[in-house]
Amino acid sequence: EPEVTQTPSHQVTQMGQEVILRCVPISNHLYFYWYRQILGQKVEFLVSFYNNEISEKSEIFDDQFSVERPDGSNFTLKIRSTKLEDSAMYFCASSWDRKNQPQHFGDGTRLSIL
């Protein structure tokens, strides 16, 4: 069964450094998402992406965050200057349809900011 893949599985970065999290969504999906889960807390929506532009973003997704689909397969989340509070599990998801089909999630990247 097709799946969403994320790399790396764990990223350790010094505070203030830039980090790029990578995702390969399911190949025929059109909608792409990033969520995060701080340890012990709920999964929170960050951003959705469709037709090469941001479709929706949350309050968390400020100017320090950006997303890109640099080619036909990858979808990336960049954090420009990481803070301690950015430490979380980051999940990429994709869906074929915006509302009528389920979102499929990857296994996540655990981001640890030192």
Partner 1 sequence: KQEVTQIPAALSVPEGENLVLNCSFTDSAIYNLQWFRQDPGKGLTSLLLIQSSQREQTSGRLNASLDKSSGRSTLYIAASQPGDSATYLCAVGPPGDDKIIFGKGTRLHILP
Beta strands in 1-114 (DSSP E): 5-7, 10-13, 19-24, 31-37, 43-50, 53-57, 65-68, 75-79, 88-95, 104-105, 109-113
Question: Applying CB under 8 A, does 108 fall inside the site for partner 1?
Answer: yes
**Piece of 14-22, 65-73, 78-86, 90-98 that binds partner 1 (CB under 8 A):** 90-98
**Piece of 14-22, 62-70, 72-80, 99-107 that binds partner 1 (CB under 8 A):** 99-107
Q: What is the CA radius of gyration of the chain?
A: 13
Cα–Cα dist 106/84, whole Å = 23
- Between 14 and 62, whose beta carbon lies closer to partner 1? 62
Question: Applying CB under 8 A, does 25 fall inside the site for partner 1?
Answer: no
Cα–Cα dist 84/31, whole Å = 29
**Piece of 13-21, 48-56, 63-71, 72-80 that binds partner 1 (CB under 8 A):** 48-56
- Between 15 and 37, whose beta carbon lies closer to partner 1? 37
Question: Applying CB under 8 A, does 96 fall inside the site for partner 1?
Answer: no
CA dist 19 → 71, 100, 101, 103, 104 (Å): 19, 33, 31, 25, 23
Interface with partner 1 by CB under 8 A: which residues?
4, 6, 31, 33, 41-45, 48, 50, 55-56, 58, 91, 93, 98-108
